[in-house]
Amino acid sequence: MPVIGPLAMENLRRNWPVLGAVIVLVAFTAVHMLIFRPLARRYDAAIKSSADIGLAMDPEQLPESMPPRLFALITDNSLPPAVALERAGSGALTAGLVEDLNRMASQHGMVLVQTEPGMVSQQQNSVQVRAHLKIRCHFADFVALLGDIARSGALIAVDRFTLTPLESGNMMLEVWVSRCVLKQGEGAR
């Protein structure tokens, strides 16, 4: 059995903080190598496999959620692609646009004189329908109609318009409008 001599014992007593630090370093290294590294590898593998199936465990990689009002606007103005194609081809989307505008105009005492369907544009993620309307109204009624269109929640755009004064004091409003209907599904996201 080796015996520590008095000189070695004195060196140990003077350098005990260094010896304690070495012992702590060896203990932390052993814990790191035996416990922490395998757990870290398992965590990295779990994050990778969850990312592969579309889930995000890392808070920095979470997809941003859509604001509720925007989500409602998109869902209210979208259709399945087959339904959008069918309704656009049959003229139902254009008829719906004219019907909505006629309803809004009649609430303000405006008289719809003539309607004319416009071109239908099919894009990969949406359908755009157009219409041309002639309406007899007052200027204040036209401004109120624009306000109703803005508040309607529909993706309706007033592409252009002309106001022509009539002898009766009214005006003839000629307006070209379009509505965008989004296609639901994988390709539309």
- Tell me the per-residue pLDDT of 100-113, one tens digit each, with 9 for 90 and over: 999 999 999 999 99
| CATH code of the domain occupying 68-188 | 3.30.70.60
What pLDDT score was predicted for residue 57? 66
What pLDDT score was predicted for residue 7? 83
First to last CA, the chain: 77
pTM of the predicted model as reported, rounded to 2 decimal places: 0.62
Q: How far apart are CA 164 and CA 134, in angstroms?
A: 11
Which residues of the chain fall short of a pLDDT of 50?
187-189
